[in-house]
Structure 1
Amino acid sequence: MSGKMCSSSNSVIQAQKLVDQLQVEAGMERFKISLTAADLVQYCKDHRRGDPLLTGIAASSNPFKDKKSCALL
């Protein structure tokens, strides 16, 4: 019976932790999606020149580029 008491005690503690976490999340200030999306678009536009995914990486500074090709004899 001691095992059942310990098990139910653990589940009560877990449920209380979950309730506490949900209360914290519910109390958080939320941003409007439209404002956040507009800010993200503006940030991307402002930083597009320095973004290597958009502009590419110069071959001279690319550490992953093969240095030499392999020749089989």
Structure 2
Amino acid sequence: MNIRMRITMRIMTNIRSVRERLGLSQVDLAAKLGLHQSTVSRLEKGALPLDERTALALEALERRAAAGAAERAEA
């Protein structure tokens, strides 16, 4: 497997795992990112490259969720 294929597979797995960790459906994640559900599906399948804006938005969602979990744990 070449490096491009490995990177693509890692990105696909990461998008899906982040979505599942957040407890979101593809429709829910798409709405939060300002995308269509089919775009999220294509990103997860590796049929569409992940652009910088979407990557940053996904990272921000993950950070917000982590911060919320930490606050709930402290309460």
TM-score greater than 0.5 by the shorter chain:
no
| Higher relative helix content | 2
Give the structure with higher Rg (CA): 1
Q: TM-score, normalised by structure 1?
A: 0.34
Higher relative contact order (CA 8 A, sep 6+): 2
Q: TM-score, normalised by structure 2?
A: 0.33
